[in-house]
């Protein structure tokens, strides 16, 4: 089988021929149909974050495929099922986070495409309890971006308190942002979309953003405060400056949800105004298996649109470069079929 492998940080990925893995107990073997390319894969391959993956590794955590085989002790999933391989490859299942609906915070978790080989591969093994079934009627090419970009922003919107009467700023209308905008609208909020490329700003209009701000030519905080300020800002651009601009756009009692993870990510806060204006800053990391099931259900009902471009896995390095140069609207999906 072919897999795209990181053999050194900031080196081009290599397409390698590997042996198809055998599913161990509690594992399933998945034949990949589609895998999204998340900006996290680019951070992973560049070694951008304080905890780096062990080299070599296969990135990818928006994998969709068909179960071809399974090890002992897998009862819930059957050969022939279509499943999603998300960032949460597995968790311990018994810590306080796991047992109270916060498995995405489990300190023992393993992550697809980071600490275990991911979905940039024709086949992958995955834990049978942690793959999520993709409902009939959801196109695998749509399901792929929903598996990280979708679930992450669905969760971020949920924890943000967005709802009717709230003004929500979405900073970065990329893979994550174009779905965040849709979830904020589903929640009933007024939306402000911010980006730095013409194509993304056009996309934001098309997806029904109430206001669109071009961070290249406009002062984001000033524009949004001119509207009355943001009750919620969701930071989805891998840029420290964009996170601070989103914070500065908040109105009193506003909440900034940090999602993007820029290399050397930092946010300096003005303590005095933070306290006097009663603001909050929270972090949000992907979502749970249940959140992903809800994301698939909403899509199945026709409430979300996934904007994507298909590529072949052998074009992985060009695809990375295109994401970094802002040439993709909004997600690359590798089509293995």
Interface residues with Zn ion (CB under 5 A) are 38, 40, 91-92, 95, 98, 106, 148
Please report how the helices 151-160 and 289-300 are oriented relative to each other, as an axis angle in degrees rounded to 10: 100
**Of residues 74 and 176, the one with the C-beta less far from ligand NAD:** 176
Which one of ligand NAD, Zn ion, none interacts with residue 91, CB within 5 to 8 A by kind? Zn ion
**Of residues 131 and 169, the one with the C-beta less far from ligand NAD:** 169
DSSP state of 150: I
Alpha carbons 166 and 190: distance in angstroms, whole number: 6
Phi, psi of 19 (to 5 degrees): -80, 140
Which one of Zn ion, ligand NAD, none interacts with residue 106, CB within 5 to 8 A by kind? Zn ion
Single residue of 105, 196, 227, 267 touching ligand NAD by CB under 6 A:
196
Phi, psi of 135 (to 5 degrees): -65, 150
Structure tokens at 102: 């916060």
Q: How far is the CB of 248 from Zn ion (least distance, A)?
A: 27
**Of residues 119 and 255, the one with the C-beta less far from Zn ion:** 119
Number of Cβ within a 10 Å radius of residue 111: 20
**Of residues 58 and 201, the one with the C-beta less far from ligand NAD:** 201
* Extended strands (E) in the chain: 2-5, 14-17, 27-37, 63-70, 82-85, 88-90, 110-111, 123-127, 132-133, 167-171, 190-195, 211-214, 230-235, 250-258, 280-283, 308-311, 331-335
Decide: is 281 part of the binding site for ligand NAD (CB under 6 A).
no
Decide: is 109 part of the binding site for ligand NAD (CB under 6 A).
no
Decide: is 174 part of the binding site for ligand NAD (CB under 6 A).
yes
HSE at residue 99, side-chain half, CA atoms within 13 A, is 3
Single residue of 194, 204, 250, 307 touching ligand NAD by CB under 6 A:
194
Decide: is 239 part of the binding site for ligand NAD (CB under 6 A).
yes
100-73-99 Cα angle (round to 5): 5
Q: How far is the CB of 287 from ligand NAD (least distance, A)?
A: 8
Number of Cβ within a 10 Å radius of residue 264: 8
Decide: is 88 part of the binding site for ligand NAD (CB under 6 A).
no
Residues 259-278 interacting with ligand NAD (rule: CB under 6 A): 259-261
Decide: is 221 part of the binding site for ligand NAD (CB under 6 A).
no
Q: How far is the CB of 61 from Zn ion (least distance, A)?
A: 5
Nearest to 5 by CA among 16, 17, 20: 16
Decide: is 180 part of the binding site for ligand NAD (CB under 6 A).
no
Decide: is 323 part of the binding site for ligand NAD (CB under 6 A).
yes
Structure tokens at 319: 């695809």
Which one of ligand NAD, Zn ion, none interacts with residue 43, CB within 5 to 8 A by kind? ligand NAD
Q: Which residues lie below 8 Å from residue 274, measured CB to CB, with a gap of 6+?
A: none
Residues 35-54 interacting with ligand NAD (rule: CB under 6 A): 38-40, 43
**Of residues 241 and 269, the one with the C-beta less far from ligand NAD:** 241
CB 250 within 8 A of CB 276: no
Only one of the segments 1-9, 23-31, 32-40, 127-135 lies at the binding site for ligand NAD (rule: CB under 6 A); that segment is 32-40
Complete DSSP assignment for 197-237: SHHHHHHHHHTT-SEEEETTTS-HHHHHHHTT-EEEEEE-S
Which of helix, strand or coil describes residue 151? Answer: helix
Site string for ligand NAD, 132-171 (x = CB under 6 A): ----------------xx--x------------------x
Residue ranges in contact with ligand NAD by CB under 6 A:
38-40, 43, 148-149, 152, 171-177, 194-197, 200, 215, 236-239, 241-242, 259-261, 284-286, 323, 326
């Amino acid at each position: 089988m072919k897999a795209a492998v990181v053999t050194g940080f900031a080196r081009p990925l290599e397409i390698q021929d590997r042996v198809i893995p055998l599913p161990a107990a509690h594992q399933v073997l998945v034949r990949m149909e589609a895998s999204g390319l998340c900006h996290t894969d680019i951070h992973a391959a560049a070694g951008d974050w304080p905890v780096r993956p062990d080299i070599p590794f296969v990135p990818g955590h928006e994998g969709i495929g068909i179960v071809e085989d399974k090890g002992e002790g897998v009862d819930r999933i059957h050969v022939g099922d279509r499943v999603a391989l998300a960032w949460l490859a597995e968790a311990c299942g018994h810590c306080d986070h796991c047992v109270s609906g916060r498995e995405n915070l489990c300190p023992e978790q393993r992550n697809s495409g980071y600490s275990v080989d991911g979905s940039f591969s024709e086949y992958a093994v995955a834990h049978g309890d942690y793959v999520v079934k993709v409902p009939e009627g959801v196109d695998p090419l749509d399901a792929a971006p929903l598996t990280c970009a979708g679930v992450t922003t669905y969760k971020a919107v949920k924890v943000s308190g967005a709802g009717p009467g709230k003004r929500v700023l979405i900073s970065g209308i990329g893979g994550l942002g174009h779905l965040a905008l849709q979830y904020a609208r589903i929640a009933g909020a007024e939306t402000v979309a911010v980006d730095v490329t013409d194509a993304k700003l056009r996309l934001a209009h098309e997806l029904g953003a109430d206001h669109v701000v071009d961070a290249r030519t406009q002062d984001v905080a000033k524009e949004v405060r001119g509207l009355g300020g943001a009750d919620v800002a969701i930071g989805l651009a891998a840029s420290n400056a964009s996170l601070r601009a989103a914070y500065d756009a908040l109105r009193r009692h506003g909440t900034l949800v940090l999602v993007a993870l820029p290399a050397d990510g930092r946010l300096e806060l003005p303590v005095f105004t933070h306290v006097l204006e009663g603001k909050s800053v929270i972090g949000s990391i992907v979502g749970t298996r249940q959140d992903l099931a809800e994301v698939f259900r909403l899509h199945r009902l026709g409430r979300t649109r996934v904007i994507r471009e298909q590529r072949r896995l052998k074009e992985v390095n060009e695809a990375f470069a295109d994401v970094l140069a802002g040439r993709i609207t909004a997600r690359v999906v590798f089509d293995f079929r």
